[in-house]
Amino acid sequence: MDQESLDKARKKSIVKWSIWLLLLTYSIYAGYDYSISNVGFSPTQPIAFSHKVHSGDFGMKCLYCHASAESSNYSEIPTAHSCMICHIALKESSELIAPLSTAYFDEIPIKWNSVYRLPDYAHFNHSRHILASVDCSSCHGDVEKMDSVYQSRVLTMKWCIECHREPKKYIVPARDISGIILIYNDSLLFDNNSRSVVEPAYGEFISDLPKQPFDWFVYPKKPGRGPEHCSACHY
């Protein structure tokens, strides 16, 4: 191959890689910008459900309606049947309750709109955080004060990693309104004895689990440093 052909091939390669680099940079920026600008996002819901009324005024705990968050990756959205356990006898004729009654009696699922949404390549395990005494407001804000729930935190990798590295700075200790069982005094809440799984440390930390007095009951552990290896949050 002569020099002219080599120069053309080199220029073509530079152009190709420059385009790929620009696309990668834009993708990273777009993803980061979306997470930042989405703070305050509050979609219109099919039913005007007020967390401020239910949790703030009446003190309904988070885990009463979102029970699966304690034992699974996901936090369930209550079904119409769950809501009608109370509303079958409470304000059942209210205009605001009409869509709920229709969904219940006609057996039509309510299509709620997501407030928080992670990328398809990332996952978040609710139960691991709840069993580490991490209050819901750490990620969702003070939902019991919101009429319409909105996104209150940035969903960036940087934000999650910083919380895993410095939990005292970001975690809200479990509160009574969350329904999360807490067996520690505030002064003993955070576990400063977490240790690396391997040496040298590469991001996986463990701490001793509390003694389990009953086989059928899982005591929460004190929160400590979270893992930082890729597979902790990515598939």
Domain boundaries, the chain: 116-235
Mean pLDDT of 10-38: 70
pLDDT at 228: 87
* Identity of the highest mean pLDDT range in 84-93, 102-111, 203-212: 102-111
Q: Measured at the alpha carbon of residue 65, what is the angle toward residues 63 and 66, in degrees to the nearest 5? A: 55
Extended strands (E) in the chain: 195-196, 205-206
Helix (H/G/I), strand (E/B), else coil: 62: helix
Higher pLDDT among residues 234 and 182, named by residue: 234
pLDDT at 36: 57
Q: How confident is the model at residue 113 (pLDDT cuts 50, 70, 90)?
A: very high
Contact of 73 with 126, CB cutoff 8 Å: yes
Reported pTM: 0.77
Residues facing residue 122 across a β-bridge = 234
Helix (H/G/I), strand (E/B), else coil: 30: helix
> How far apart are the C-alpha atoms of 78 and 75, rounded to whole Å?
9
- Please count the helices (runs of H) and the strands (runs of E) in the chain: 9, 2
Give the tens place of pLDDT for each residue, 154-196: 888 889 999 999 999 999 989 999 999 877 766 668 887 788 8
